[in-house]
């Protein structure tokens, strides 16, 4: 996300590579990128590994395939593999090294992982978001594994003075005739081998995979997590470390006009009080500023912070109030917006319609509320800075911290801990910059600990939105035209002066790529200025778009007396891959950074996951009074997810006994973690549907902790989530699953609530209790 934004700001075409072609894989990818699926054929690499272009090549610092950067072999047979992507619960830390291990022939039990520091020139792109880890890095992980296997074989051939073709690679061992050796015996010789060219590599046939596609590898940190040994950001302790808690301006762009630190300084353990410089949007990830209380321990820092008396000036955003802002967006959505995509003449179709049908759907801001609030440790000393933090983009954080400190990036090191959840919040490294600034100020290592209140009140919020859909119907109730106007403050306002309009990344998330087959279509964006820090939240703009489009399809079906599934299938229309050029897509249409021919919008796959969820969930069956089913389907991050939710309203309380998640993510590399992501998406989707609303009064956030910003809990969650993974061979490129499960859940629940109660919910969050 971030790096795409920076490209946009620099007005660089996304297709333009940013660094010189430096390795074989890059050259091959670029060669095939414009040719789409017409992949270059190689005579030597196994047919099992036909490459496809991925957007990772266009990311800053691209992809790396140097085997010895990622893998170290030891004489005792152990294998160390570098995990270069951040782990926030999605499983990338396990799944990518698992691919290397499988391809090289390693026994997973002999593998240890090392988490990479932020160093993209060495490891390639590390910006862990956009559901990209597996989508972008699968092929290079395989190349690394195959390279190591090749080097082991060459080492054994030389040692045994036999032809390499006679050597068989078993599980963690090599053999030729009556000679056998473990990987450890060949470790030193293998690592001294020249690194093979891609063309020299043999790749496993998918039938030979032991871990890839199997789902038989537990997450690497499982034992440490269950015994309390896993290290997250707050668990980093350094000798002489101080702890800081910060009173930040309640309103973005606000400043402290006065503060009395006496109470703070009187708190046992508090050592000093430091004022940090203030910022206002657009300030990228610059900290908000405020008054920091430095203490010997966290308890003292928080109590000292709470004892501060601060007089705040709200600044230019003190007039931000949720209700009038939403009302204004509703009005904006009714008028014609900037047309982003036009097919035919929607205005004429609506003007000449037998009748029209329009609905508005809204969503409040959301905070990520991951269980681990922002936290970071920094030690700035002797012209160098070392940071330990749970950050999604450690190299981006390194650059931002270096800039904030006025240091060269070479003098800054960012070490990545486990992330106790992230959901996009930890892409923004304001908390790590705070730690760095304070460490420099006090001349000691400093941990900045955010409280939950800090987290809810000082987020980079998911946008608030109004989505308005209107269709033209003819005398036969056939849809002859459609307007889809999306109004929401843009993420871009965090980075650049605000135009009030969304940019191509937001528009690419379920808006201009809306797949309905309607002859006259106008996709529009109305203006909304940002008054808080807008950021990305897991699945981003796909959430309000799926909410609107999938709710609308259900409403239209009821309006026309149609079955909802049949209506939705009819709206999606014929079997086809959408043709962006022929269908009026904007020139800057963003396909999640992917080559369109490789990852097209395929209505066959879209309809298939809808049908699969419907079939598995028993769509159409009679249900008892107070129960209902709802459907939704959405493509995001080039993955397709269909959801069927079954809702049971018990004394007005919305419960969700069952959810079916049908997911098509291409070849399923780690089905076990795909299932866990779908289960988690069902839960988070229910939280979004019922509870997730951040509102502002006079510029300040009204919510503060889990009592007024609630989460779904064990006493009312989707009790049974059935995940149905569409099976594909290795010829269908994998796509990610971290985000795509989320968007269809809220509309599926709302559609089910309607079918259970007759109550139509159009505003997120809808609350967990319904008047019946």
Which of residues 423 and 460 has its CB atom nearest to another protein in the complex? 423
At its nearest, how many Å lie between another protein and the CB of residue 742? 10
Q: Does 271 bind another protein (CB under 8 A)?
A: no
**Binding segment (CB under 8 A) for another protein, from list 82-90, 460-468, 499-507, 583-591:** 82-90
Q: Does 650 bind another protein (CB under 8 A)?
A: no
**Binding segment (CB under 8 A) for another protein, from list 11-19, 233-241, 381-389, 610-618:** 233-241
Select from 8, 28, 73, 88 the one that contacts another protein (CB under 8 A). Answer: 88
Q: Does 221 bind another protein (CB under 8 A)?
A: yes
At its nearest, how many Å lie between another protein and the CB of residue 758? 28
Question: Distance between CA 436 and CA 336 in Å, rounded?
Answer: 47
Phi, psi of 16 (to 5 degrees): -75, 125
At its nearest, how many Å lie between another protein and the CB of residue 745? 10
Which of residues 361 and 423 has its CB atom nearest to another protein in the complex? 423
Q: Which residue reads 């993974």 in tokens?
A: 725
Residue 535 corresponds to which tokens in the numbers above?
Answer: 């950021």
Question: Distance between CA 551 and CA 674 in Å, rounded?
Answer: 26
- Bridge partners for 525 per DSSP: 338, 486
Nearest Cα to Cα of residue 131 among 514, 678, 705 = 678
Which of residues 74 and 717 has its CB atom nearest to another protein in the complex? 717
523 within 8 A of 340, measured Cβ to Cβ? yes
Which of residues 14 and 683 has its CB atom nearest to another protein in the complex? 683
| Cβ neighbours for 307, distance < 8 A, ≥ 6 positions apart | 263, 264, 266, 267
Question: Distance between CA 357 and CA 488 in Å, rounded?
Answer: 22
**Binding segment (CB under 8 A) for another protein, from list 84-92, 465-473, 623-631, 660-668:** 84-92
Q: Does 230 bind another protein (CB under 8 A)?
A: yes
Question: Distance between CA 234 and CA 228 in Å, rounded?
Answer: 13
Please report, for residues 23, 223, 449, the alpha-carbon distance to residue 234 in angstroms, rounded to integers and kept in the order given: 38, 19, 7
Which of residues 341 and 368 has its CB atom nearest to another protein in the complex? 368
Q: Does 372 bind another protein (CB under 8 A)?
A: yes
Find the DSSP H helices in 57-132.
67-70, 92-104, 120-123
Nearest Cα to Cα of residue 482 among 531, 430, 435, 522 = 522
**Binding segment (CB under 8 A) for another protein, from list 8-16, 28-36, 294-302, 660-668:** 294-302
State the number of binding residues for another protein (CB under 8 A): 66
What is the gyration radius of the CA atoms in the chain, in angstroms?
27
Select from 35, 40, 188, 225 the one that contacts another protein (CB under 8 A). Answer: 225
Select from 12, 27, 179, 223 the one that contacts another protein (CB under 8 A). Answer: 223
Select from 56, 62, 373, 508 the one that contacts another protein (CB under 8 A). Answer: 373
At its nearest, how many Å lie between another protein and the CB of residue 692? 11
Residue 614 corresponds to which tokens in the numbers above?
Answer: 């419907």
Which of residues 375 and 766 has its CB atom nearest to another protein in the complex? 375
Q: Does 71 bind another protein (CB under 8 A)?
A: no
Select from 290, 420, 600, 733 the one that contacts another protein (CB under 8 A). Answer: 420
At its nearest, how many Å lie between another protein and the CB of residue 224? 8
**Binding segment (CB under 8 A) for another protein, from list 404-412, 418-426, 482-490, 548-556:** 418-426
Q: Does 442 bind another protein (CB under 8 A)?
A: no
Which of residues 103 and 372 has its CB atom nearest to another protein in the complex? 372
Q: 357: helix, coil or strand?
A: strand
Q: Does 360 bind another protein (CB under 8 A)?
A: no
For 477-532, give the secondary structure using H, E and C: CCEEEEEEEEECCCHHHHCCCCCCCCCHHHHCCCCCCCCCCCCCEEEEEECCCCCC
737 within 8 A of 131, measured Cβ to Cβ? yes
Which of residues 454 and 594 has its CB atom nearest to another protein in the complex? 454
Residue 383 corresponds to which tokens in the numbers above?
Answer: 């012209």
**Binding segment (CB under 8 A) for another protein, from list 132-140, 284-292, 540-548, 716-724:** 716-724
Q: 341: helix, coil or strand?
A: strand
Question: Mask 695-714, x = binds another protein (CB under 8 A)?
Answer: ----------xxx---xxxx
For 689-750, give the secondary structure using H, E and C: HHCCCECEECCEECCCCCCCCCCCCCCCCCCEEEEEECCCCCCCCCCCCCCCCCCCHHHHHH
- Bridge partners for 97 per DSSP: none
Question: Distance between CA 604 and CA 448 in Å, rounded?
Answer: 49
Q: Under the phi-then-psi rule, with left for phi > 0, alpha for psi from -120 to 50, and beta for the rest, what region is 240?
A: left
Beta strands in 110-238 (DSSP E): 111-115, 168-169, 173-176, 179-182
At its nearest, how many Å lie between another protein and the CB of residue 246? 15
Q: Does 418 bind another protein (CB under 8 A)?
A: yes
Q: Does 653 bind another protein (CB under 8 A)?
A: no
Give me the helix-helix angle, 564-572 and 603-617, nearest 10°: 170
Which of residues 416 and 492 has its CB atom nearest to another protein in the complex? 416
Q: Does 160 bind another protein (CB under 8 A)?
A: no
DSSP annotation of 349: H
Q: Does 371 bind another protein (CB under 8 A)?
A: yes
Q: Which residue reads 């681990």 in tokens?
A: 372
Which of residues 3 and 692 has its CB atom nearest to another protein in the complex? 692
**Binding segment (CB under 8 A) for another protein, from list 17-25, 45-53, 228-236, 311-319:** 228-236
Which of residues 569 and 683 has its CB atom nearest to another protein in the complex? 683
Select from 3, 23, 90, 554 the one that contacts another protein (CB under 8 A). Answer: 90
Q: Does 94 bind another protein (CB under 8 A)?
A: no
**Binding segment (CB under 8 A) for another protein, from list 47-55, 89-97, 349-357, 562-570:** 89-97
Q: Which of residues 453-472 bind another protein (CB under 8 A)?
A: 453
Nearest Cα to Cα of residue 343 among 512, 584, 514, 587 = 584
Select from 18, 235, 347, 411 the one that contacts another protein (CB under 8 A). Answer: 235
At its nearest, how many Å lie between another protein and the CB of residue 108? 14
At its nearest, how many Å lie between another protein and the CB of residue 186? 33
Question: Distance between CA 217 and CA 137 in Å, rounded?
Answer: 18
Residue 16 corresponds to which tokens in the numbers above?
Answer: 């333009």
Q: Which of residues 557-576 bind another protein (CB under 8 A)?
A: none
**Binding segment (CB under 8 A) for another protein, from list 21-29, 405-413, 417-425, 631-639:** 417-425
DSSP annotation of 602: B
Which of residues 24 and 711 has its CB atom nearest to another protein in the complex? 711
Select from 186, 264, 294, 419 the one that contacts another protein (CB under 8 A). Answer: 419
At its nearest, how many Å lie between another protein and the CB of residue 252? 23
Which of residues 355 and 713 has its CB atom nearest to another protein in the complex? 713
Here the contacts of 618-626 (C-beta below 8 Å, separation 24 or greater) are: 619/565, 619/644, 620/563, 620/565, 623/756, 626/650, 626/756, 626/757, 626/772
Select from 298, 338, 356, 611 the one that contacts another protein (CB under 8 A). Answer: 298
For residue 251, whether the previous peptide bond is cis, meaning omega lies within 30 degrees of 0, is no
Q: Which of residues 514-543 bind another protein (CB under 8 A)?
A: none
472 within 8 A of 479, measured Cβ to Cβ? yes
Q: Does 449 bind another protein (CB under 8 A)?
A: yes
- The footprint of another protein (CB under 8 A) covers 87-91, 218-219, 221-223, 225-232, 234-235, 237, 243, 268-269, 297-300, 302, 369-373, 418-423, 449, 451-453, 672, 676-677, 679-684, 705-707, 711-715, 717-721
């Amino acid at each position: 996300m971030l790096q795409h934004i920076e490209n946009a700001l620099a007005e660089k075409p996304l297709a333009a590579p940013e660094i010189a072609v430096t390795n074989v894989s890059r050259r091959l990818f670029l060669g095939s990128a414009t040719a789409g699926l017409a992949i270059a054929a190689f005579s030597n690499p196994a047919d099992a590994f036909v490459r496809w272009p991925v957007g990772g090549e266009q990311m800053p610092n691209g992809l790396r395939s140097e085997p010895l950067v990622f893998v170290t072999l030891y004489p005792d047979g152990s294998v160390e593999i570098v995990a270069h992507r951040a782990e926030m619960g999605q499983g990338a830390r396990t799944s990518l090294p698992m691919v290397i291990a499988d391809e090289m022939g390693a026994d997973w039990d002999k593998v240890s992982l090392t988490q990479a520091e932020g160093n993209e020139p060495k490891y390639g792109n590390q910006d862990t978001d956009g559901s990209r880890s597996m989508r972008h890095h699968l092929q290079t992980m395989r190349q690394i594994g195959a390279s190591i296997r090749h080097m082991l074989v060459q080492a054994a051939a030389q040692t045994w003075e036999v032809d390499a073709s006679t050597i068989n690679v078993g599980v963690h061992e090599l053999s030729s005739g009556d000679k056998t050796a473990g990987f450890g015996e060949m470790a030193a010789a293998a690592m001294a081998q020249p690194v093979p060219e891609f063309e020299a590599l043999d790749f496993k046939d998918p039938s030979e995979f032991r871990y890839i596609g199997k789902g038989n590898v537990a997450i690497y940190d499982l034992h440490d997590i269950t015994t309390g040994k896993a290290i997250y950001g707050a668990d980093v302790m350094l000798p002489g470390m101080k702890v800081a808690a910060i009173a930040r301006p309640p309103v973005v762009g606000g400043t402290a006009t006065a503060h009395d630190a006496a109470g703070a300084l009187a708190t046992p353990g508090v050592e000093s009080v430091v004022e940090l410089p203030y910022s206002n949007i657009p300030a990228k990830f610059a900290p908000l500023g405020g008054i920091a209380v430095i203490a010997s321990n966290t308890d003292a820092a928080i109590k000292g912070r709470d004892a501060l008396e601060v007089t705040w000036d709200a600044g230019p955003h003190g007039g931000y109030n949720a209700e009038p802002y939403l009302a204004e967006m509703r009005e904006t959505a009714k008028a014609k917006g900037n047309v982003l995509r036009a097919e035919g003449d929607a205005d004429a179709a609506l003007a000449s319609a037998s009748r029209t049908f329009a609905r508005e759907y809204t969503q409040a801001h959301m905070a990520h509320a991951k269980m681990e609030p922002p936290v970071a440790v920094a030690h700035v000393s002797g012209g160098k800075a070392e940071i330990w933090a749970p950050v999604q983009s450690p190299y981006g954080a390194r650059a931002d911290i270096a800039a904030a400190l006025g240091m060269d990036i070479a003098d800054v090191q960012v070490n990545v801990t486990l992330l106790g959840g992230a959901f996009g919040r930890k892409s923004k490294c304001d908390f790590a910059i705070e730690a760095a600034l304070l460490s420099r100020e006090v001349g000691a290592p400093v941990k900045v600990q955010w409280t939950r209140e800090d987290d809810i009140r000082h987020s980079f919020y998911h946008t608030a939105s109004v989505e308005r859909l209107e269709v033209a119907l003819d005398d036969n109730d056939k849809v002859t035209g459609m307007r889809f106007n999306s109004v929401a403050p843009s993420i871009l306002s965090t980075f650049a002066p605000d135009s009030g309009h969304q940019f191509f990344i937001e528009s690419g998330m379920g808006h201009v790529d809306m797949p309905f087959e309607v002859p006259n279509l106008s996709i529009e964006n109305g203006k909304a200025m940002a008054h808080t820090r807008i950021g990305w939240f897991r699945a981003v703009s796909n959430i309000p778009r799926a909410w609107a489009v999938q709710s609308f399809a259900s409403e239209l079906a009821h309006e026309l007396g149609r079955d909802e599934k049949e209506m939705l299938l009819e709206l999606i229309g014929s079997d086809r891959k959408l043709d962006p050029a022929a269908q009026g897509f904007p020139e800057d249409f963003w396909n999640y950074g992917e080559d369109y021919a490789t990852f097209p919008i395929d209505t066959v796959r879209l309809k298939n996951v809808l049908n699969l969820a419907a079939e598995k969930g028993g769509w159409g069956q009679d249900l008892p009074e107070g129960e209902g089913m709802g459907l939704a389907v959405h493509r995001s991050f080039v993955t397709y997810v269909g959801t069927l939710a079954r809702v049971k309203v018990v004394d007005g309380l919305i419960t969700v006994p069952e959810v079916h998640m049908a997911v098509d993510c291409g070849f399923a590399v780690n089905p076990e973690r795909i299932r866990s992501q779908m289960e988690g998406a069902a839960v988070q989707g229910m939280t979004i549907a019922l509870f997730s609303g951040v509102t502002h009064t006079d510029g300040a956030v009204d919510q503060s902790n889990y009592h007024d910003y609630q989460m779904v809990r064990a006493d009312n969650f989707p009790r049974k989530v059935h995940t149905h993974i569409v099976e594909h061979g290795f010829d269908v490129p994998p796509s990610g699953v971290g985000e795509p499960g989320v968007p269809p859940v809220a509309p599926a629940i709302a559609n089910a609530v309607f079918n259970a109660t007759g109550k139509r919910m159009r505003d997120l969050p809808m609350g967990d209790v319904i008047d019946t």
